[in-house]
Structure 1
Protein backbone atom coordinates (compact mmCIF):
# COMPACT_ATOMS: atom_id res chain seq x y z
CA UNK A 1 0.00 0.00 0.00
CA UNK A 2 2.83 2.43 0.82
CA UNK A 3 4.29 1.99 -2.68
CA UNK A 4 0.93 2.72 -4.28
CA UNK A 5 0.56 5.86 -2.17
CA UNK A 6 4.09 6.97 -3.09
CA UNK A 7 3.45 6.31 -6.79
CA UNK A 8 0.21 8.33 -6.81
CA UNK A 9 1.87 11.13 -4.83
CA UNK A 10 4.78 11.29 -7.26
CA UNK A 11 2.44 11.26 -10.24
CA UNK A 12 0.52 14.22 -8.81
CA UNK A 13 3.75 16.07 -7.97
CA UNK A 14 4.98 15.61 -11.54
CA UNK A 15 1.74 17.10 -12.89
CA UNK A 16 2.09 20.01 -10.47
CA UNK A 17 5.63 20.58 -11.67
CA UNK A 18 4.44 20.65 -15.28
CA UNK A 19 2.04 23.46 -14.36
CA UNK A 20 4.88 25.37 -12.72
CA UNK A 21 7.26 24.77 -15.65
CA UNK A 22 4.61 25.91 -18.10
CA UNK A 23 3.80 28.97 -16.01
CA UNK A 24 7.44 30.07 -15.70
CA UNK A 25 8.54 29.00 -19.16
CA UNK A 26 10.99 26.31 -18.04
CA UNK A 27 11.45 24.82 -21.48
CA UNK A 28 14.01 23.20 -23.74
CA UNK A 29 14.27 24.88 -27.13
CA UNK A 30 15.73 22.71 -29.91
CA UNK A 31 18.96 23.79 -31.55
CA UNK A 32 21.29 22.38 -34.19
CA UNK A 33 22.67 19.84 -31.73
CA UNK A 34 19.31 18.68 -30.35
CA UNK A 35 17.67 15.35 -31.17
CA UNK A 36 14.18 16.90 -30.81
CA UNK A 37 12.40 19.47 -32.95
CA UNK A 38 9.69 20.82 -30.64
CA UNK A 39 9.79 23.02 -27.55
CA UNK A 40 9.42 20.73 -24.54
CA UNK A 41 9.13 21.28 -20.79
CA UNK A 42 12.45 20.83 -19.02
CA UNK A 43 13.24 19.53 -15.54
CA UNK A 44 10.70 16.73 -15.24
CA UNK A 45 13.49 14.63 -13.73
CA UNK A 46 13.07 16.63 -10.54
CA UNK A 47 10.71 13.79 -9.64
CA UNK A 48 13.77 11.62 -8.89
CA UNK A 49 14.80 14.03 -6.17
CA UNK A 50 11.24 14.27 -4.85
CA UNK A 51 11.09 10.47 -4.64
CA UNK A 52 14.30 10.50 -2.57
CA UNK A 53 12.87 13.31 -0.42
CA UNK A 54 9.76 11.27 0.34
CA UNK A 55 11.98 8.32 1.26
CA UNK A 56 14.16 10.54 3.46
CA UNK A 57 11.15 11.71 5.46
CA UNK A 58 9.48 8.29 5.50
CA UNK A 59 12.65 6.52 6.72
CA UNK A 60 13.22 8.84 9.67
CA UNK A 61 16.01 10.76 7.89
CA UNK A 62 18.28 7.90 6.86
CA UNK A 63 21.59 8.73 5.13
CA UNK A 64 21.53 12.46 6.04
CA UNK A 65 24.91 13.41 4.51
CA UNK A 66 24.08 11.69 1.26
CA UNK A 67 20.73 13.45 1.15
CA UNK A 68 22.32 16.82 1.86
CA UNK A 69 24.70 16.25 -1.05
CA UNK A 70 21.81 15.18 -3.27
CA UNK A 71 19.85 18.29 -2.31
CA UNK A 72 22.77 20.56 -3.17
CA UNK A 73 23.21 18.77 -6.49
CA UNK A 74 19.51 19.04 -7.30
CA UNK A 75 19.27 22.73 -6.42
CA UNK A 76 22.30 23.82 -8.46
CA UNK A 77 21.30 21.59 -11.39
CA UNK A 78 17.73 22.91 -11.42
CA UNK A 79 19.01 26.47 -11.20
CA UNK A 80 21.31 25.73 -14.14
CA UNK A 81 18.35 24.37 -16.10
CA UNK A 82 16.50 27.64 -15.53
CA UNK A 83 19.23 30.29 -15.42
CA UNK A 84 22.47 28.75 -16.75
CA UNK A 85 25.03 29.08 -13.96
CA UNK A 86 28.78 29.56 -14.15
CA UNK A 87 30.88 26.41 -14.47
CA UNK A 88 32.90 27.37 -11.37
CA UNK A 89 29.80 27.49 -9.15
CA UNK A 90 28.49 24.18 -10.49
CA UNK A 91 31.87 22.49 -10.02
CA UNK A 92 32.12 23.80 -6.46
CA UNK A 93 28.71 22.39 -5.54
CA UNK A 94 29.44 19.10 -7.31
CA UNK A 95 32.73 18.78 -5.46
CA UNK A 96 31.07 19.48 -2.09
CA UNK A 97 28.23 17.06 -2.81
CA UNK A 98 30.61 14.26 -3.77
CA UNK A 99 32.55 14.81 -0.55
CA UNK A 100 29.30 14.52 1.41
CA UNK A 101 28.50 11.26 -0.34
CA UNK A 102 32.00 10.01 0.41
CA UNK A 103 31.52 10.92 4.07
CA UNK A 104 28.21 9.01 4.18
CA UNK A 105 29.95 6.02 2.62
CA UNK A 106 32.73 6.36 5.26
CA UNK A 107 35.40 6.50 2.58
CA UNK A 108 37.39 8.99 4.69
CA UNK A 109 38.24 6.12 7.05
CA UNK A 110 39.90 4.23 4.19
CA UNK A 111 43.33 4.86 2.60
CA UNK A 112 43.60 8.20 0.77
CA UNK A 113 43.62 6.65 -2.68
CA UNK A 114 40.08 5.32 -2.12
CA UNK A 115 38.85 8.91 -1.77
CA UNK A 116 40.67 10.09 -4.90
CA UNK A 117 39.53 7.09 -6.93
CA UNK A 118 35.95 7.44 -5.70
CA UNK A 119 35.91 11.16 -6.47
CA UNK A 120 37.14 10.63 -10.05
CA UNK A 121 34.63 7.82 -10.68
CA UNK A 122 31.64 9.62 -9.13
CA UNK A 123 32.26 12.93 -10.93
CA UNK A 124 32.96 11.10 -14.19
CA UNK A 125 29.82 8.97 -14.03
CA UNK A 126 27.57 11.90 -13.06
CA UNK A 127 28.81 13.89 -16.05
CA UNK A 128 28.54 10.87 -18.34
CA UNK A 129 24.97 10.27 -17.17
CA UNK A 130 24.19 13.90 -17.94
CA UNK A 131 25.80 13.74 -21.40
CA UNK A 132 23.93 10.54 -22.25
CA UNK A 133 20.54 12.11 -21.58
CA UNK A 134 19.94 13.09 -25.19
CA UNK A 135 16.92 11.19 -26.55
CA UNK A 136 13.48 10.34 -25.22
CA UNK A 137 13.39 7.48 -22.77
CA UNK A 138 17.09 6.75 -22.45
CA UNK A 139 17.52 8.05 -18.90
CA UNK A 140 14.34 6.28 -17.78
CA UNK A 141 15.16 2.93 -19.42
CA UNK A 142 18.76 2.91 -18.29
CA UNK A 143 17.91 3.98 -14.73
CA UNK A 144 15.23 1.31 -14.44
CA UNK A 145 17.81 -1.27 -15.55
CA UNK A 146 20.48 -0.15 -13.07
CA UNK A 147 18.03 0.42 -10.23
CA UNK A 148 16.42 -2.95 -10.87
CA UNK A 149 19.80 -4.69 -10.73
CA UNK A 150 20.62 -2.98 -7.45
CA UNK A 151 17.24 -4.01 -6.00
CA UNK A 152 17.87 -7.63 -7.02
CA UNK A 153 21.28 -7.71 -5.34
CA UNK A 154 19.97 -5.86 -2.31
CA UNK A 155 17.27 -8.47 -1.84
CA UNK A 156 20.10 -10.92 -1.21
CA UNK A 157 22.79 -8.83 0.50
CA UNK A 158 20.83 -6.03 2.26
CA UNK A 159 23.56 -3.44 1.70
CA UNK A 160 21.12 -0.50 1.61
CA UNK A 161 17.56 0.31 2.65
CA UNK A 162 15.46 -1.22 -0.13
CA UNK A 163 12.90 1.56 0.09
CA UNK A 164 15.43 4.10 -1.18
CA UNK A 165 15.78 2.05 -4.34
CA UNK A 166 12.07 1.29 -4.71
CA UNK A 167 10.89 4.86 -4.07
CA UNK A 168 13.43 6.09 -6.61
CA UNK A 169 12.33 3.50 -9.17
CA UNK A 170 8.74 4.61 -8.71
CA UNK A 171 9.89 8.13 -9.55
CA UNK A 172 11.59 6.81 -12.67
CA UNK A 173 8.40 5.00 -13.73
CA UNK A 174 6.39 8.21 -13.31
CA UNK A 175 8.93 10.13 -15.38
CA UNK A 176 8.97 7.39 -18.03
CA UNK A 177 5.21 7.72 -18.44
CA UNK A 178 5.71 11.30 -19.65
CA UNK A 179 9.08 10.92 -21.36
CA UNK A 180 9.08 7.52 -23.08
CA UNK A 181 7.09 8.85 -26.03
CA UNK A 182 7.82 9.98 -29.56
CA UNK A 183 6.75 13.45 -28.42
CA UNK A 184 7.80 13.70 -24.80
CA UNK A 185 5.81 15.78 -22.36
CA UNK A 186 9.01 16.69 -20.50
CA UNK A 187 12.76 16.13 -20.48
CA UNK A 188 14.71 15.20 -17.37
CA UNK A 189 16.97 18.25 -17.49
CA UNK A 190 20.25 18.45 -15.60
CA UNK A 191 18.34 18.17 -12.33
CA UNK A 192 17.02 14.78 -13.39
CA UNK A 193 20.11 13.19 -14.89
CA UNK A 194 22.38 14.44 -12.12
CA UNK A 195 20.00 13.45 -9.32
CA UNK A 196 19.37 9.91 -10.54
CA UNK A 197 23.08 9.39 -11.21
CA UNK A 198 23.89 10.58 -7.67
CA UNK A 199 21.35 8.20 -6.13
CA UNK A 200 22.42 5.17 -8.16
CA UNK A 201 26.11 5.87 -7.55
CA UNK A 202 25.50 6.05 -3.82
CA UNK A 203 23.85 2.63 -3.92
CA UNK A 204 26.59 1.14 -6.12
CA UNK A 205 29.22 2.62 -3.81
CA UNK A 206 27.61 1.00 -0.79
CA UNK A 207 27.41 -2.31 -2.65
CA UNK A 208 31.07 -2.25 -3.64
CA UNK A 209 32.22 -1.25 -0.15
CA UNK A 210 29.95 -3.88 1.46
CA UNK A 211 31.20 -6.72 -0.75
CA UNK A 212 34.70 -5.51 -1.53
CA UNK A 213 33.97 -6.43 -5.15
CA UNK A 214 34.56 -3.75 -7.79
CA UNK A 215 32.98 -5.83 -10.56
CA UNK A 216 29.60 -4.26 -9.77
CA UNK A 217 30.80 -1.18 -11.66
CA UNK A 218 29.72 -3.18 -14.72
CA UNK A 219 26.20 -2.09 -13.78
CA UNK A 220 27.22 1.09 -15.65
CA UNK A 221 29.16 -0.58 -18.48
CA UNK A 222 26.98 0.45 -21.44
CA UNK A 223 26.94 4.15 -20.57
CA UNK A 224 30.60 3.94 -19.66
CA UNK A 225 31.68 2.53 -23.01
CA UNK A 226 29.64 5.06 -24.99
CA UNK A 227 30.85 8.01 -22.91
CA UNK A 228 34.53 7.04 -22.79
CA UNK A 229 34.92 6.20 -26.49
CA UNK A 230 33.00 9.35 -27.46
CA UNK A 231 35.43 11.44 -25.42
CA UNK A 232 38.41 9.62 -26.96
CA UNK A 233 37.10 10.30 -30.48
CA UNK A 234 36.41 13.97 -29.76
CA UNK A 235 39.88 14.42 -28.27
CA UNK A 236 41.34 12.78 -31.37
CA UNK A 237 39.39 15.24 -33.53
CA UNK A 238 40.60 18.08 -31.26
CA UNK A 239 37.06 19.05 -30.28
CA UNK A 240 36.04 20.71 -27.02
CA UNK A 241 34.70 17.78 -24.97
CA UNK A 242 32.69 20.12 -22.74
CA UNK A 243 30.76 21.62 -25.64
CA UNK A 244 27.32 20.24 -26.56
CA UNK A 245 27.42 17.74 -29.41
CA UNK A 246 25.60 14.89 -31.16
CA UNK A 247 28.38 12.31 -31.45
CA UNK A 248 27.35 9.60 -28.98
CA UNK A 249 26.50 6.27 -30.57
CA UNK A 250 22.83 6.56 -29.59
CA UNK A 251 22.72 9.96 -31.29
CA UNK A 252 24.27 8.61 -34.49
CA UNK A 253 21.80 5.73 -34.44
CA UNK A 254 18.82 8.03 -33.94
CA UNK A 255 19.81 11.05 -36.01
CA UNK A 256 21.99 9.75 -38.84
CA UNK A 257 20.76 6.15 -39.17
CA UNK A 258 17.17 7.26 -38.42
CA UNK A 259 16.58 4.37 -36.03
CA UNK A 260 13.54 4.68 -33.75
CA UNK A 261 14.76 6.59 -30.70
CA UNK A 262 12.49 4.79 -28.24
CA UNK A 263 13.84 1.47 -29.50
CA UNK A 264 17.39 2.73 -28.97
CA UNK A 265 16.58 3.76 -25.40
CA UNK A 266 14.92 0.42 -24.73
CA UNK A 267 17.88 -1.52 -26.14
CA UNK A 268 20.36 0.46 -24.05
CA UNK A 269 18.38 -0.46 -20.93
CA UNK A 270 17.91 -4.12 -21.90
CA UNK A 271 21.58 -4.56 -22.80
CA UNK A 272 22.68 -3.03 -19.50
CA UNK A 273 20.25 -5.20 -17.54
CA UNK A 274 21.49 -8.37 -19.24
CA UNK A 275 25.12 -7.50 -18.59
CA UNK A 276 24.32 -6.61 -14.99
CA UNK A 277 22.31 -9.76 -14.36
CA UNK A 278 25.11 -11.95 -15.71
CA UNK A 279 27.48 -9.97 -13.49
CA UNK A 280 25.39 -10.86 -10.46
CA UNK A 281 25.67 -14.55 -11.38
CA UNK A 282 29.41 -14.25 -12.06
CA UNK A 283 30.08 -12.87 -8.56
CA UNK A 284 29.69 -16.44 -7.28
CA UNK A 285 32.81 -17.45 -9.24
CA UNK A 286 36.45 -16.93 -8.26
CA UNK A 287 38.33 -13.66 -8.73
CA UNK A 288 40.20 -14.75 -11.87
CA UNK A 289 36.98 -15.76 -13.62
CA UNK A 290 35.31 -12.48 -12.64
CA UNK A 291 38.22 -10.47 -14.07
CA UNK A 292 38.14 -12.50 -17.27
CA UNK A 293 34.42 -11.81 -17.58
CA UNK A 294 34.87 -8.08 -16.94
CA UNK A 295 37.68 -7.72 -19.47
CA UNK A 296 35.82 -9.76 -22.07
CA UNK A 297 32.61 -7.78 -21.56
CA UNK A 298 34.31 -4.40 -21.90
CA UNK A 299 36.29 -5.60 -24.92
CA UNK A 300 33.21 -6.93 -26.71
CA UNK A 301 31.21 -3.79 -25.91
CA UNK A 302 34.05 -1.63 -27.20
CA UNK A 303 34.28 -3.64 -30.41
CA UNK A 304 30.52 -3.40 -30.97
CA UNK A 305 30.56 0.32 -30.23
CA UNK A 306 33.44 1.08 -32.57
CA UNK A 307 32.04 -1.20 -35.26
CA UNK A 308 28.56 0.33 -35.24
CA UNK A 309 29.88 3.87 -35.07
CA UNK A 310 32.36 3.37 -37.89
CA UNK A 311 29.66 1.82 -40.06
CA UNK A 312 27.20 4.66 -39.42
CA UNK A 313 29.80 7.36 -40.06
CA UNK A 314 30.91 5.74 -43.31
CA UNK A 315 27.37 4.96 -44.45
CA UNK A 316 25.40 8.02 -43.39
CA UNK A 317 27.78 10.84 -42.44
CA UNK A 318 30.59 10.81 -44.96
CA UNK A 319 28.24 10.05 -47.82
Structure 2
Protein backbone atom coordinates (compact mmCIF):
# COMPACT_ATOMS: atom_id res chain seq x y z
CA UNK A 1 0.00 0.00 0.00
CA UNK A 2 2.84 2.40 0.84
CA UNK A 3 4.42 1.80 -2.58
CA UNK A 4 1.13 2.72 -4.24
CA UNK A 5 0.94 5.91 -2.16
CA UNK A 6 4.52 6.81 -3.14
CA UNK A 7 3.74 6.18 -6.82
CA UNK A 8 0.72 8.48 -6.71
CA UNK A 9 2.64 11.14 -4.78
CA UNK A 10 5.50 11.07 -7.29
CA UNK A 11 3.20 11.32 -10.31
CA UNK A 12 1.34 14.20 -8.70
CA UNK A 13 4.63 15.89 -7.75
CA UNK A 14 6.01 15.63 -11.30
CA UNK A 15 2.82 16.92 -12.94
CA UNK A 16 2.78 19.81 -10.48
CA UNK A 17 6.43 20.51 -11.19
CA UNK A 18 5.72 20.73 -14.94
CA UNK A 19 3.34 23.61 -14.28
CA UNK A 20 5.81 25.34 -11.98
CA UNK A 21 8.69 24.90 -14.43
CA UNK A 22 6.70 26.35 -17.32
CA UNK A 23 5.49 29.22 -15.16
CA UNK A 24 9.03 30.17 -14.08
CA UNK A 25 10.76 29.21 -17.34
CA UNK A 26 12.84 26.37 -15.89
CA UNK A 27 13.58 24.94 -19.31
CA UNK A 28 16.54 23.63 -21.28
CA UNK A 29 17.20 25.69 -24.42
CA UNK A 30 19.25 23.82 -27.08
CA UNK A 31 22.72 25.15 -27.93
CA UNK A 32 25.63 23.99 -30.09
CA UNK A 33 26.63 21.37 -27.47
CA UNK A 34 23.14 19.91 -27.03
CA UNK A 35 21.98 16.53 -28.31
CA UNK A 36 18.37 17.77 -28.56
CA UNK A 37 16.64 20.44 -30.62
CA UNK A 38 13.50 21.36 -28.65
CA UNK A 39 12.97 23.57 -25.61
CA UNK A 40 12.21 21.11 -22.79
CA UNK A 41 11.32 21.32 -19.10
CA UNK A 42 14.46 20.85 -17.00
CA UNK A 43 14.62 19.37 -13.50
CA UNK A 44 12.03 16.60 -13.86
CA UNK A 45 14.50 14.36 -12.06
CA UNK A 46 13.44 16.08 -8.86
CA UNK A 47 11.27 13.02 -8.27
CA UNK A 48 14.43 10.95 -7.64
CA UNK A 49 15.34 12.65 -4.34
CA UNK A 50 11.63 13.07 -3.58
CA UNK A 51 11.22 9.29 -3.75
CA UNK A 52 13.79 8.90 -0.96
CA UNK A 53 12.19 11.64 1.11
CA UNK A 54 8.76 9.97 0.75
CA UNK A 55 10.41 6.65 1.60
CA UNK A 56 11.72 8.15 4.83
CA UNK A 57 8.32 9.56 5.70
CA UNK A 58 6.32 6.40 5.01
CA UNK A 59 8.77 3.60 5.80
CA UNK A 60 11.10 5.41 8.22
CA UNK A 61 13.99 3.36 6.80
CA UNK A 62 16.23 6.30 5.85
CA UNK A 63 18.93 7.54 8.22
CA UNK A 64 18.16 11.17 9.08
CA UNK A 65 21.71 12.41 8.41
CA UNK A 66 21.78 10.63 5.06
CA UNK A 67 18.40 12.12 4.19
CA UNK A 68 19.62 15.62 5.07
CA UNK A 69 22.73 15.08 2.94
CA UNK A 70 20.59 14.00 -0.03
CA UNK A 71 18.31 17.00 0.46
CA UNK A 72 21.27 19.39 0.56
CA UNK A 73 22.93 18.12 -2.60
CA UNK A 74 19.58 17.94 -4.42
CA UNK A 75 18.62 21.47 -3.33
CA UNK A 76 21.88 23.03 -4.57
CA UNK A 77 21.55 21.07 -7.82
CA UNK A 78 17.98 22.27 -8.33
CA UNK A 79 19.04 25.84 -7.62
CA UNK A 80 21.72 25.42 -10.28
CA UNK A 81 19.06 24.17 -12.72
CA UNK A 82 17.05 27.33 -12.11
CA UNK A 83 20.01 29.71 -12.27
CA UNK A 84 23.70 28.77 -12.69
CA UNK A 85 25.65 28.94 -9.42
CA UNK A 86 29.40 29.38 -8.83
CA UNK A 87 31.29 26.12 -9.18
CA UNK A 88 32.99 26.49 -5.78
CA UNK A 89 29.60 26.73 -4.04
CA UNK A 90 28.29 23.59 -5.73
CA UNK A 91 31.47 21.66 -5.00
CA UNK A 92 31.45 22.76 -1.37
CA UNK A 93 27.90 21.45 -0.88
CA UNK A 94 28.79 18.24 -2.74
CA UNK A 95 31.72 17.66 -0.42
CA UNK A 96 29.66 18.43 2.69
CA UNK A 97 26.89 16.07 1.57
CA UNK A 98 29.33 13.26 0.80
CA UNK A 99 31.04 13.68 4.19
CA UNK A 100 27.64 13.52 5.87
CA UNK A 101 26.81 10.36 3.91
CA UNK A 102 30.10 8.74 4.87
CA UNK A 103 29.36 9.57 8.52
CA UNK A 104 25.78 8.27 8.30
CA UNK A 105 26.96 5.00 6.73
CA UNK A 106 29.55 4.68 9.53
CA UNK A 107 32.37 4.24 7.03
CA UNK A 108 34.77 5.78 9.57
CA UNK A 109 33.98 2.91 11.95
CA UNK A 110 34.47 0.22 9.30
CA UNK A 111 37.49 1.41 7.32
CA UNK A 112 40.78 3.20 8.05
CA UNK A 113 41.22 6.86 7.18
CA UNK A 114 42.48 6.11 3.67
CA UNK A 115 39.36 4.01 3.09
CA UNK A 116 37.15 6.91 4.18
CA UNK A 117 39.03 9.19 1.78
CA UNK A 118 38.55 6.69 -1.07
CA UNK A 119 34.83 6.45 -0.30
CA UNK A 120 34.56 10.23 -0.57
CA UNK A 121 36.51 10.30 -3.84
CA UNK A 122 34.38 7.48 -5.24
CA UNK A 123 31.10 9.20 -4.42
CA UNK A 124 32.15 12.63 -5.69
CA UNK A 125 33.59 11.11 -8.88
CA UNK A 126 30.46 9.04 -9.42
CA UNK A 127 28.19 12.03 -8.91
CA UNK A 128 30.08 14.02 -11.52
CA UNK A 129 30.22 11.08 -13.92
CA UNK A 130 26.44 10.67 -13.80
CA UNK A 131 26.02 14.37 -14.41
CA UNK A 132 28.39 14.28 -17.41
CA UNK A 133 26.57 11.29 -18.89
CA UNK A 134 23.08 12.76 -18.59
CA UNK A 135 22.88 14.15 -22.11
CA UNK A 136 20.37 12.09 -24.11
CA UNK A 137 16.82 10.91 -23.56
CA UNK A 138 16.47 7.92 -21.25
CA UNK A 139 20.11 7.21 -20.47
CA UNK A 140 20.12 8.26 -16.80
CA UNK A 141 16.88 6.54 -15.83
CA UNK A 142 17.47 3.29 -17.78
CA UNK A 143 21.01 3.00 -16.39
CA UNK A 144 19.69 3.68 -12.89
CA UNK A 145 16.93 1.07 -13.30
CA UNK A 146 19.48 -1.60 -14.20
CA UNK A 147 21.71 -0.58 -11.29
CA UNK A 148 18.82 -0.62 -8.80
CA UNK A 149 17.58 -4.00 -10.09
CA UNK A 150 21.10 -5.37 -9.75
CA UNK A 151 21.26 -4.08 -6.18
CA UNK A 152 17.81 -5.59 -5.49
CA UNK A 153 18.95 -8.99 -6.79
CA UNK A 154 22.11 -8.88 -4.66
CA UNK A 155 20.07 -7.76 -1.64
CA UNK A 156 17.55 -10.58 -2.14
CA UNK A 157 19.75 -13.51 -3.19
CA UNK A 158 23.40 -12.77 -2.40
CA UNK A 159 23.82 -10.60 0.70
CA UNK A 160 21.36 -8.33 2.45
CA UNK A 161 22.77 -4.82 2.77
CA UNK A 162 19.74 -2.49 2.70
CA UNK A 163 16.02 -2.40 3.46
CA UNK A 164 13.92 -3.07 0.36
CA UNK A 165 12.18 0.35 0.29
CA UNK A 166 15.56 2.04 -0.18
CA UNK A 167 15.81 0.22 -3.51
CA UNK A 168 12.17 0.05 -4.57
CA UNK A 169 11.20 3.70 -4.03
CA UNK A 170 13.89 5.19 -6.32
CA UNK A 171 13.12 2.42 -8.82
CA UNK A 172 9.50 3.59 -8.92
CA UNK A 173 10.70 7.15 -9.49
CA UNK A 174 12.91 6.04 -12.40
CA UNK A 175 10.05 4.18 -14.08
CA UNK A 176 7.72 7.18 -13.74
CA UNK A 177 10.42 9.48 -15.10
CA UNK A 178 10.99 7.19 -18.08
CA UNK A 179 7.33 7.58 -19.09
CA UNK A 180 7.96 11.29 -19.62
CA UNK A 181 11.58 11.16 -20.76
CA UNK A 182 12.08 7.98 -22.79
CA UNK A 183 10.54 9.44 -25.95
CA UNK A 184 11.73 10.73 -29.28
CA UNK A 185 10.79 14.16 -27.97
CA UNK A 186 11.14 14.09 -24.20
CA UNK A 187 8.60 15.99 -22.10
CA UNK A 188 11.26 16.71 -19.45
CA UNK A 189 14.94 16.28 -18.67
CA UNK A 190 16.36 15.13 -15.35
CA UNK A 191 18.49 18.24 -14.84
CA UNK A 192 21.28 18.37 -12.28
CA UNK A 193 18.80 17.70 -9.49
CA UNK A 194 17.94 14.38 -11.14
CA UNK A 195 21.33 13.12 -12.29
CA UNK A 196 23.15 14.24 -9.15
CA UNK A 197 20.32 13.18 -6.83
CA UNK A 198 20.13 9.62 -8.17
CA UNK A 199 23.93 9.38 -8.42
CA UNK A 200 24.27 10.34 -4.75
CA UNK A 201 21.79 7.69 -3.74
CA UNK A 202 23.32 4.95 -5.92
CA UNK A 203 26.73 5.86 -4.52
CA UNK A 204 25.41 5.53 -0.97
CA UNK A 205 23.86 2.14 -1.78
CA UNK A 206 27.09 0.89 -3.33
CA UNK A 207 29.06 1.92 -0.23
CA UNK A 208 26.51 0.02 1.91
CA UNK A 209 26.99 -3.04 -0.29
CA UNK A 210 30.78 -2.92 -0.19
CA UNK A 211 30.77 -2.50 3.61
CA UNK A 212 28.52 -5.53 4.08
CA UNK A 213 30.10 -7.76 1.42
CA UNK A 214 33.74 -6.68 1.87
CA UNK A 215 34.02 -6.99 -1.91
CA UNK A 216 35.15 -4.13 -4.12
CA UNK A 217 34.08 -5.87 -7.32
CA UNK A 218 30.66 -4.25 -7.00
CA UNK A 219 32.27 -0.95 -8.01
CA UNK A 220 32.09 -2.33 -11.55
CA UNK A 221 28.31 -1.97 -11.64
CA UNK A 222 29.19 1.56 -12.80
CA UNK A 223 31.90 0.48 -15.25
CA UNK A 224 30.19 1.64 -18.47
CA UNK A 225 29.71 5.19 -17.24
CA UNK A 226 33.13 5.19 -15.59
CA UNK A 227 34.89 3.95 -18.72
CA UNK A 228 33.19 6.51 -20.96
CA UNK A 229 34.18 9.36 -18.64
CA UNK A 230 37.74 8.05 -18.21
CA UNK A 231 38.44 7.61 -21.93
CA UNK A 232 36.85 10.94 -22.75
CA UNK A 233 39.11 12.69 -20.25
CA UNK A 234 42.16 10.94 -21.76
CA UNK A 235 41.14 12.05 -25.24
CA UNK A 236 40.63 15.65 -24.13
CA UNK A 237 44.05 15.67 -22.48
CA UNK A 238 45.57 14.39 -25.73
CA UNK A 239 43.79 17.19 -27.60
CA UNK A 240 45.12 19.67 -25.00
CA UNK A 241 41.60 20.86 -24.19
CA UNK A 242 40.55 22.64 -21.01
CA UNK A 243 38.82 19.93 -18.97
CA UNK A 244 36.63 22.55 -17.29
CA UNK A 245 35.07 23.58 -20.61
CA UNK A 246 31.93 21.86 -22.00
CA UNK A 247 32.35 19.43 -24.89
CA UNK A 248 30.65 16.75 -27.00
CA UNK A 249 33.28 14.00 -26.98
CA UNK A 250 31.61 11.34 -24.84
CA UNK A 251 30.99 8.14 -26.78
CA UNK A 252 27.21 8.50 -26.46
CA UNK A 253 27.50 12.01 -27.94
CA UNK A 254 29.52 10.71 -30.90
CA UNK A 255 26.94 8.00 -31.50
CA UNK A 256 24.00 10.42 -31.38
CA UNK A 257 25.43 13.58 -32.90
CA UNK A 258 27.77 12.11 -35.54
CA UNK A 259 26.70 8.52 -36.17
CA UNK A 260 23.03 9.51 -36.14
CA UNK A 261 21.77 6.79 -33.80
CA UNK A 262 18.50 7.62 -31.98
CA UNK A 263 18.80 8.66 -28.32
CA UNK A 264 16.78 5.72 -27.09
CA UNK A 265 18.83 3.16 -29.04
CA UNK A 266 22.07 4.47 -27.54
CA UNK A 267 20.53 4.60 -24.05
CA UNK A 268 19.38 0.98 -24.34
CA UNK A 269 22.79 -0.13 -25.65
CA UNK A 270 24.54 1.46 -22.66
CA UNK A 271 22.04 -0.15 -20.29
CA UNK A 272 22.29 -3.62 -21.86
CA UNK A 273 26.09 -3.40 -21.84
CA UNK A 274 26.05 -2.63 -18.12
CA UNK A 275 23.49 -5.40 -17.51
CA UNK A 276 25.82 -7.88 -19.24
CA UNK A 277 28.73 -6.76 -17.07
CA UNK A 278 26.60 -7.00 -13.93
CA UNK A 279 25.62 -10.55 -14.83
CA UNK A 280 29.29 -11.39 -15.36
CA UNK A 281 30.14 -9.95 -11.94
CA UNK A 282 27.42 -11.97 -10.22
CA UNK A 283 28.28 -15.25 -11.95
CA UNK A 284 32.06 -15.12 -11.50
CA UNK A 285 34.47 -14.61 -8.65
CA UNK A 286 37.74 -13.35 -10.12
CA UNK A 287 40.19 -10.99 -8.47
CA UNK A 288 39.77 -7.22 -8.77
CA UNK A 289 42.78 -7.08 -11.08
CA UNK A 290 41.26 -9.52 -13.56
CA UNK A 291 37.90 -7.72 -13.51
CA UNK A 292 39.62 -4.39 -14.13
CA UNK A 293 41.78 -5.78 -16.95
CA UNK A 294 38.91 -7.51 -18.73
CA UNK A 295 36.33 -4.75 -18.42
CA UNK A 296 38.65 -1.85 -19.18
CA UNK A 297 40.11 -3.70 -22.18
CA UNK A 298 36.67 -4.35 -23.66
CA UNK A 299 35.42 -0.82 -22.97
CA UNK A 300 38.63 0.68 -24.35
CA UNK A 301 38.35 -1.35 -27.56
CA UNK A 302 34.75 -0.23 -28.11
CA UNK A 303 35.50 3.42 -27.36
CA UNK A 304 38.60 3.52 -29.57
CA UNK A 305 36.70 1.89 -32.45
CA UNK A 306 33.93 4.49 -32.49
CA UNK A 307 36.23 7.38 -31.59
CA UNK A 308 38.45 6.64 -34.59
CA UNK A 309 35.45 6.20 -36.85
CA UNK A 310 34.03 9.63 -36.00
CA UNK A 311 37.27 11.41 -35.03
CA UNK A 312 37.16 13.98 -37.83
CA UNK A 313 33.57 15.01 -37.22
CA UNK A 314 34.00 15.16 -33.45
CA UNK A 315 37.14 17.29 -33.76
CA UNK A 316 35.45 19.69 -36.16
CA UNK A 317 32.50 20.05 -33.76
CA UNK A 318 34.85 21.38 -31.06
CA UNK A 319 36.28 24.13 -33.27
Provide the TM-score with structure 1 as the length reference.
0.95
The residue that corresponds to 2:128 in the other structure is 127
Please list every run of 5 or more consecutive structure 1 residues that lacks an aligned counterpart in the other structure: none
Equivalent residue pairs, number: 315
Q: Is the 8 A contact 2:137 2:189 kept in 1?
A: yes
For 1:69 and 1:241, how far apart are their aligned partners in 2?
A: 28
CA distances 1:109-145 after superposition (whole Å, capped 9, x unpaired): 2211011111111111100100000011110111111
* Runs of 5+ unmatched residues, structure 2: none
Which residue pairs with 1:293 in the alignment? 291
Work out whether residues 257 and 316 of structure 1, in 8 Å CA contact, stay in contact via their aligned partners in 2: no
Give the superposed CA RMSD.
1.6
Shift of 1:314: 4.7
Distance in 2 of aligned mates of 1:315 and 1:43: 31
Taking the TM superposition and a 5 Å limit, the aligned residue runs for 1:165-314 are 165-282=167-284, 285=285, 287-288=286-287, 291-314=289-312
How many angstroms does 1:217 deviate by? 0.6
CA distance in structure 1 between the partners assigned to 2:52 and 2:256 by the alignment: 32
> Deviations for 1:155-209, whole angstroms, at most 9, x for unmatched residues?
1222011111100010001111100011110000000000000000100110011
Match of 2:42 in 1: 42
Deviations 1:247-289 (A, max 9, x none): 100000000011111100011111111111221122xx3x54x
TM-score between the two structures when normalised by the length of structure 2: 0.95
> In structure 2, how many angstroms separate the alpha carbons of the residues matched to 1:208 and 1:129?
20
2:80 is matched with 80
* C-alpha distance in 2 between matches for 1:135 and 1:246: 12
* 1:41 counterpart SS class: strand
**Alignment partner of 1:45: what SS?**
helix
Check conservation: 1:227, 1:248, Cα contact below 8 A.
yes
Separation of aligned partners in 1, 2:308 and 2:127: 27
Task: Identify which range, 70-79 or 100-109, moves more after superposition.
Answer: 100-109
